[in-house]
Structure 1
Amino acid sequence: MNLVNKVIVITGGTSGIGRQIVEQLQAQNTIIVVARNSDRLEQLNMRYKNVTCFPADLSDPGSYKPLSERIQAEFPRVDVLINNAAIQNEPFFTDPDFEYEKITREINVNFTAVCALSYLLIPALNSNEAQSIILNINSGLSFVAKKSASVYCASKAAINLFSQSLSYQLENTNIKVLQAFIPLVDTPMTQGRGENKMSAECAAKSILKGLKQQNPQNDIGKIKVLRILNALTPSLAKRLLKGS
């Protein structure tokens, strides 16, 4: 896909990888950013003329339908939907400070919103004969879990199978479903953990390269090695990721 003069919706586009994707695409495309932080959205609006912002709390399922209706009222055609927004809670279920209420919020942001927006924006994605794309940003933790962040791991695993199934359902439409599997990236979400992280700028470039090539499974950086290792010696892959 030639990423020029496209209408692109991206969730979680105000920081980290999402912000880098916005910056790399905004000059030649119309970018619709969905995020919760109104101050950051306002900054994007002021900085980039081709960026339109829609505030929404994706942890609230009640926000999905009104959000999609607002987007499609202003943009009847959408060429690309990038489901990028995600949160990751680290405490173990056995920790005294574990907050039970965060389970539903994490699942909603990481998975429910992906399903809902993919469905609700189908009319706009299918509005013309040109190719359109749903791109779900995923993680190596979707197929090899770590000890912490169990809800995050589960939600990413769910996105993996959801993406595969949805691609089957949309085979006879103009919509393709792609995934980008990213390694540990230096973003606000990963602050204070891990070493040798990929930069958000580099991750965004690799994600967009896979999008242009319409790669159904874009393994980025160390994910290529992890997938091979998991196929050949899954027990070793599990040991390596367990405490990451």
Structure 2
Amino acid sequence: MNLVNKVIVITGGTSGIGRQIVDQLHAQNTIIVIARNSKRLEQLKKRYKNVICFSADLSDPECYKPLSEQIKAQYPRIDVLINNAAVQNEPLFTDPNFEYEQIAREINVNFTAVCSLSFLLLPALNASDSQSVILNINSGLSFVAKKSACVYCASKAALNLFSQSLSYQLEHTNIKVLQAFIPLVDTPMTQGRGDNKISAECAAKSILKGLKRQDPQHDIGKIKILRILNALTPSLAKRILKGA
């Protein structure tokens, strides 16, 4: 896929991997960024003329329909939808600081928003002149869980099967459904978690390489090793990831 003169929607595009994707694509494309932080959106809009910003809290399902209608009214054709936004809460269910309200918020951002935006923006994706793409950013935790962040792991596992099933539903249309599985990346979400992270810039470059090739399942960095390990010795993969 030639990423030039495309209309690209990306969620969570004001920091981390999403921001790096915006930085790498904005010059030759129209980028529509959906994020919650209004201040960062304003800064992004001032910096790049080809970036259009929509403020939305994806943890609130009530925002999905009006947000999608606003986008389609201005951009009836969309070439790429990148579902990148995600949140991960580390406290265990047994920890005293675990917040019950975070369960719904995490599921909504990581999974419900992806399903909803993929459906609601489908008419605009169908209107693309050529091949269009839904790209879901996923994690190795979608197929090997860790002890903490169980809601995150479950939402990513759900995203994996949703992406596969949706690709079957759309296989006779002009829309491809792709996934990029990323290892631990140095972003605000992962501060204080783990070592040997890859940079957000490196992750974004790898994600875009897979998008250009239209890889249905693009394993980045150590995810390649983890998938092989999980296939050959799943018990070992589980032990390694359990305390990650």
TM-score for the superposition, normalised by structure 1: 1.00
Residue in structure 1 matched with residue 93 of structure 2 by the alignment: 93
Aligned to 2:10: 10
Matches within 5 A, 1:96-115: 96-115=96-115
3-state SS in 1 of match to 2:86 = coil
- Name the CA shift for 1:129/1:5 in 2 (closer, same or farther; >3 Å): closer
Letter in 2 for 1:11: T
What does residue range 165-176 of structure 1 map to in structure 2 within 5 Å?
Answer: 165-176=165-176
Partner Cα separation in structure 2 for residue 66 and residue 151 of structure 1: 27
Task: Give me the whole-angstrom Cα distance separating, in 2, the residues matched to 1:196 and 1:94.
Answer: 28
Is 1:236 the counterpart of 2:203? The answer is no
Indicate the SS of the match to 1:111. Answer: helix
Measure, in 2, the Cα distance between the counterparts of 1:78 and 1:129. 9
Change (3 A) 1:84 1:172: same
Distance 2:24 2:164 in 1: 27
2:146 is matched with which residue? Answer: 146
Identity of aligned residues (%): 84
What amino acid maps onto 1:67 in structure 2?
L
Query: 2:136 aligned with 1:130, yes or no?
Result: no
Question: Are the aligned partners of 1:129 and 1:174 in contact in 2 as well (CA < 8 Å)?
Answer: no
CA displacement 1:61-108 (0-9 Å, x = unmatched): 000000000000010100000000000000000001110011000000
Asked if residue 118 in structure 1 is aligned to residue 118 in structure 2, the reply is: yes
Query: How many angstroms does 1:193 deviate by?
Result: 1.1
Distance in 2 separating the partners of 1:183 and 1:16: 14
Q: Which residue number in structure 1 is paired with residue 206 of structure 2?
A: 206
1:16-40: CA deviation from partner (whole Å, max 9, x where unpaired) = 0000000000000000000000000
Contact 1:11-1:84 within 8 A present in 2 as well: yes
Distance 1:193 1:4 in 2: 36
The amino acid that maps onto 2:38 is S
Q: 1:81: which partner in 2? A: 81
Residue matched to 2:177: 177
Ranges in structure 1 where 5+ consecutive residues have no aligned partner: none
Q: Determine the C-alpha separation between the residues in 2 that align with 1:55 and 1:31.
A: 14
Give the aligned CA root-mean-square deviation in angstroms. 0.4
SS in 2 for 1:26: helix
1:217: how far off?
A: 0.2
Distance 2:207 2:129 in 1: 24
The residue type equivalent to 1:240 in the other structure is I
State TM-score, norm by structure 2: 1.00
Letter in 1 for 2:40: R
Aligned position for 2:196:
196
Question: Gaps spanning 5+ residues in structure 2: where?
Answer: none
Letter in structure 2 aligned against 1:155: S
Per the TM alignment, residue 218 of structure 1 is displaced from its structure 2 partner at its CA by: 0.3
Are the equivalent residues in 1 in contact too, given 2:78–2:128 (CA < 8 A)?
Answer: no
By how many angstroms is 1:128 displaced?
A: 3.5
What SS does structure 2 have at the residue aligned with 1:99?
coil
Residues 163 and 177 in structure 1, CA contact (< 8 A), matched pair in contact too: yes
Count residues in correspondence.
Answer: 244
Using the alignment, how far apart are the partners of 2:130 and 2:214 within structure 1?
A: 14
CA contact (8 A) 2:79 2:128 kept: no
Partner of 2:68: 68
Q: Is the 8 A contact 2:79 2:132 kept in 1?
A: yes
Where in structure 1 do 4 or more consecutive aligned residues deviate above 4 Å? none
